[in-house]
Amino acid sequence: MRRNDNLQTITPEEVKARMTEAFLKAMSERFAPPGELFHEWYVRNARENGWIAKTEDEIIEHIVFGVVVGGNMSVFEILHSALVFHVNAFYGIVFFMQTNFFLFLGVPAAAYLAYSEIRAKTSLEIDDKRRLG
């Protein structure tokens, strides 16, 4: 039996390209009119029927307010997410301050005690190198 050595040297990119080619060929035979490739026919139909943007203004509007093809977020969605995130964060801080009001009195007092103890302990450590001469 003859082994196909080419299968072991083929790269993933080549596999992808061949699969795409085969897919487009099959889809073209099934859907597209004769002499036209499937993806060209699909994009022409989409443009004519208004499924995707046609003019430059529509493209910009699409980028700002709509979902950009490819999985990226639009500007509106980014701003909206940022707004929701920050409103939630500030609400969380306010809620924490509301429920732990006494914490904000106790922690500065503890900090003052730490400062006071450090001052009391280190003030005894002065090197008094007195020289008379």
Q: Decide: is 110 part of the binding site for other proteins (CB under 8 A).
A: yes
Give the separation between CA 82 and CA 65, rounded to whole angstroms. Answer: 15
Q: Is the dihedral of CA 91, 95, 101, 106 positive or negative?
A: negative
| φ, ψ at 101 (rounded to 5°) | -60, -40
Copy the structure tokens of residue 2.
Answer: 């003859």
| Selected binder of other proteins within 4, 6, 55, 122 (CB under 8 A) | 122
Q: Decide: is 98 part of the binding site for other proteins (CB under 8 A).
A: no
| Selected binder of other proteins within 2, 3, 30, 129 (CB under 8 A) | 129
Residues that bind other proteins (CB under 8 A): 99-100, 102-103, 105-107, 109-114, 116-122, 125-133
